[in-house]
Amino acid sequence: MTAPDHRRWMTRAVELAHLCPTVANAYSVGAVIVVDGQEIATGYSRETDAKGHAEEVALDKLDAGDPRLERATIYSTLEPCSQRATATRRPCTDRIITAGIPVVVIAWREPSIFVEDCVGVEKLSRHGIEVIELLEFTDAAKAMNRHLGLP
């Protein structure tokens, strides 16, 4: 996909992030899964339950074996998590790897507020997933997270 496409879909992810119920101890994040220029699933933090992450909410709307995932791009306003406070939930990084999504576009790397060192990007890259960072969206992705005391 081209740079304007990436900007279009990250803008959509930022819109979704603004829908998150705000809480004191978790990020507000938006995510969109795109295939062939079409949105096939969206999610935002806490959309479906109090612990839900944007990427998992979006993935949970699709069948795990959906063949379109093999050519999908997932846009997330924040780096996918690599560990979770809720032990029964898999990190979004692992979910993306299992789903077979080949491209991940993020606006912002997770700062060390809740997790000392998020290694989502590194882990995705190690699994051959292309990670694109759209740094021009970082401020927009932080906007709904200012209450967390960002560095």
- Contacting positions for Zn ion (CB under 5 A): 53, 81, 92
Kindly state the smallest distance separating residue 134's Cβ from Zn ion, in Å.
18
Q: Are 72 and 37 in contact (CB under 8 A)?
A: no
110 noted as active-site residue: no
Selecting among 55, 56, 79, 110, the annotated active-site residue is 55
**CA gyration radius, the chain:** 14
Q: Residue 22 or 67: which CB sits closer to Zn ion? A: 22
Q: Return the SS3 of 104.
A: strand
How far from 10 is each of 3, 4, 47, 106, CA to CA, in Å?
Answer: 11, 10, 18, 8
Kindly state the smallest distance separating residue 91's Cβ from Zn ion, in Å.
6
CA 58/CA 1 separation, integer angstroms: 20
Q: Residue 80 or 137: which CB sits closer to Zn ion? A: 80
Kindly state the smallest distance separating residue 53's Cβ from Zn ion, in Å.
3
Q: Residue 46 or 53: which CB sits closer to Zn ion? A: 53
Query: What is the helix (H) or strand (E) element at residue 32, kind and residue range?
Result: strand 30-35
List, by residue number, the catalytic residues: 55
